[in-house]
Amino acid sequence: MKTEKFDAIVLSSLSEKEGFRTLTGMLKETPLPDDELLANLGLYLTSKNLSRLLFFYEIYKKIVHTHGIIVEFGVRWGQTLSVLSALRGIFEPFNRHRKIVGFDTFEGFKGMGKEDGEACRCRDGSFNVTPAYEDYLSSILTIQEALNPISHLKKYELVKGDAVETVPSYFKSHPETIISLAVFDFDIYKPTRAALESVKPHLCKGSILVFDELCDDVFPGETVALKETFGLNNLRIQRMPMTARISYVEVE
């Protein structure tokens, strides 16, 4: 159920894991030449991994006609941020207002509490990344921007630290913020609750909230945080057919 190095949860079966291991080995020893590798990365995509990308493609299409920034709460290795940046490059390369802001400790979970239950068998520090990973990710996001127009304007920001402090402080120093898309993926209660409370004044009709763990018994804290801040009764919690776990709410 856990990855070997960083205490992350994987629900794959043994045979799936075996398949993933084989594909990973094949990627590491790829016969593809360097100058064709990136263009052919889909060769190694599984349906599960592709499904998440397709979800964000569909979500991005929904925000193209709304004004505001994108925030991700819980970045980890940053694939979602990078994909969102690529989608911005495809759909609205000149929208300098579509800032993408990611919050993470870059040191794993912080603030596990009783609302998070026991099922995930996590602790503070689970889902860690490698040292100074935020610098590596920042370089990738800079290249993503450089490959698209108006790259002289930096349109991403990584905010490192405990979200219980960094998120309220970010919005305090950016009172102009309108949120077009917020992705909640801290997994656990305390930072999720802090983020939900902070985004409230910055939402408008059409803003989209994406959740990675609603109704998930392994990580109950995310649902508890949403119940306590917005309540469930007024929300239309929707999903898409290609992914089981991710859901979204369109503010009405």
Ligand X SMILES: C[S@@+](CC[C@H](N)C(=O)[O-])C[C@H]1O[C@@H](n2cnc3c(N)ncnc32)[C@H](O)[C@@H]1O
Enumerate binding residues for ligand X (CB under 6 A).
Answer: 72, 74-77, 79-80, 103-105, 108-111, 127, 162-164, 185-188, 191
Least distance CB 110 / ligand X (angstroms): 4
Paired residues of 9 in beta bridges: 2
Least distance CB 133 / ligand X (angstroms): 9
203, burial (CB in 10 Å: exposed 0-12, middle 13-18, buried 19+): middle
DSSP 219: S
Q: Which residue's Cβ has the minimum distance to ligand X?
A: 74
Nearer to ligand X, 67 or 157 (CB): 157
Nearer to ligand X, 59 or 188 (CB): 188
**DSSP line for 114-136:** GGG-STT---TTTT---TTHHHH
Nearer to ligand X, 12 or 150 (CB): 12
Nearer to ligand X, 96 or 121 (CB): 121
Helix runs in the chain, H state only: 14-28, 34-37, 47-63, 79-91, 133-146, 163-173, 189-199, 221-229
Least distance CB 108 / ligand X (angstroms): 5
Residue 240, classed as helix, strand or coil, is coil
Least distance CB 216 / ligand X (angstroms): 11
